[in-house]
Amino acid sequence: MGYLSCKAQSSISVSNSHAPSPSSSSSKNIKIQYYDYSDLEAATDGFSEQKLLGKGSHGYVYKAFLKGQHVAIKKPSRGLELATEVDNEIEILSKIQSPRLVNLVGFSNDSKSRILVVEFMSNGTLYDILHSNTRSLNWGRRIRLALQIAKAIDTLHSQSPPIIHRDIKSANVLIDRNFNARLGDFGLALRCHANDGRFLSTPPAGTMGYLDPLYVTPDNLSTKTDVFSFGILLLEIISGRKAIDVGYSPPSIVDWAIPLIRKGKLLCVYDPRIAPPKDPVVRKQLAVIAAKCVRSCRERRPAMKEIVNWLTGLSKLVPLHSWNGFNNPCLMVETMGQPMLQNGCRNGV
C-alpha cells in the first residue's frame, strides 16, 4: 500500500511523571542539556513580556541566550494534559535530530515546571510569512520550503517505529536564519506501534482545517494522516489562502481548490499577489501533488518519499531569484481595485 496504518500509543506513558534523563539519548549520539529552572528564569528575565516570542500550543515561548547560543524556551501552561505534551516532545526529540526539525537543546525538570529549550528560529513561522501583507515568497522559494517540509515529515515516517506528527500546519513550520523550513511542535506526535492494544488511550487530535477526515478513531491513525495535512499546507503555499477562512465561500481550502483543479482551472488556485509559475509543467504538478495528498481514499494518497521525489524535480525547474529568500516587491495585477490573475480569476474564486 505504500503506507503504515497502526494502532498508536503516545511515545511517553501518561502515567510516567519523570522526563527522560539526558543520558537516555546517548546511544543516538544526541547531546541534550539539563538546565536548572533558575537558569532559565534568569535567561528570560523572570519570563518577562520583553522576552516573549508568542504563545504556542502548550504554553508560552520566550527568547533567551544560553551557553553562547540563542534559544527558544517553551514554558507550559498549567495542567496535566499540557504537561503530558511536554513529556511527549522531550521523548520524541531526545531520540531524533535533523536539519529539517526544530531540535531539542535541553530541558528543565524540577518541582516548579518542566520546560523545553529548543533551537531559536529567527524568521518566525511560515503562517506569518504566507499571510503577511508586506512580503511574499516567490515560487522558487515556496517550492523549496514545501520540499524541506516534506523531507522533515519523511524523516519522521522513516523512523522505526514511524513517528506521526499529527499537527502538520503552517504555524508549526518555523523559518531559520538561512530561510529554511523547520518542522516544530511535537507535543501531539506519536510513535506507531502496530501491535500495541493501548492505542485506545490516545484519542484523535490535530488542528481543524488540516485534520484528516478519516482520522476519527485511534486505530484510523496512519502516516497518511500526515500526508493529508501536508496536502492542505501545500494548497496554502500555492494559493496564499488559509486552511479555513470564513471570509471566503467555501471557507475550506480543500472545498474551494480541489474542484478548480479537477476542472483544469489551475491558475485560479495560485496566489494572486504574484505571477504564477511560468512553466506549465510546474503549475500543473504542484496542484496535482496537493490534490493527491488530500484524496478521500487514503490508500491512493502518495507516501512522503514520493512527494519528496516529485518536489525535488520541480525545485530544479524553478530558480530562487530572490534576495534573502523573498520577493520585493510583490508582483500583482490590479483590476478595479482587486487583485486578479491575468486569466481573470479573482482572488477567492
Q: What's the pTM?
A: 0.84
The residue that leads in pLDDT, 92 or 16, is: 92
Interhelix angle 304-315/280-293, rounded to 10 degrees, is: 170
Q: Do the Cβ atoms of 71 and 120 come closer than 8 Å?
A: yes
Q: Which of 87, 154, 167, 226 is catalytic?
A: 167
3-state SS assignment for residue 223 = helix
Q: Given the C-alpha cell 487530535, which residue does it identify?
A: 205
Quick one: DSSP state of residue 40? H
Separation CA 250–CA 257 (nearest Å):
10
Residues near 255 by beta carbon (within 8 Å), at least 6 away in sequence: none
Q: What is the pLDDT of residues 221-249, one digit of tens each?
A: 999 999 999 999 999 999 999 999 999 89
Asked if 255 is an active-site residue, the reply is no
Task: Give the residue numbers of the binding site for ATP.
Answer: 75
pLDDT of residue 292: 98
Mean pLDDT over each residue of the chain, to the nearest integer:
83
Residue pair 269/119 in contact by the 8 Å Cβ criterion: no
Q: What is the pLDDT of residue 321?
A: 67
Give me the CATH topology for the region 13-119.
Answer: Phosphorylase Kinase; domain 1 (3.30.200)
In 3D space, the residue among 247, 243, 275, 280 whose CA is nearest the CA of residue 345 turns out to be: 275
CA-to-CA dists, residue 287 to 64, 126, 294, angstroms: 40, 19, 11
- Whether the CB-CB separation of 222 and 5 falls below 8 Å is answered with yes
CA distance 141 to 151: 15
* pLDDT confidence band for 79 (50 / 70 / 90): low
| Nearest alpha carbon to residue 54 among 124, 105, 149, 107 | 124
The b/e string for 206-230 (b: 16+ C-beta within 10 A; e otherwise) is: bbebbbbebbeebebbbbbbbbbbb
pLDDT band, very low/low/confident/very high, at 330 (cuts 50, 70, 90): very low
Q: Where do the domains of the chain lie?
A: 13-119, 126-339
CA–CA distance, 271 with 273 (Å, rounded to integer): 6
Task: List, in sequence order, the alpha helices (H) in the chain.
Answer: 37-43, 80-93, 126-130, 139-157, 223-239, 253-262, 280-293, 304-315
> What top-level class would CATH report for the domain 126-339?
mainly alpha
pLDDT band for 291, please (50, 70, 90 cuts): very high
Model confidence band, residue 117 (pLDDT cutoffs 50, 70, 90): very high
- The binding site comprises 75
Interval 263-273: pLDDT, tens: 999 999 999 99
246 in Cβ contact with 289 (< 8 Å): no
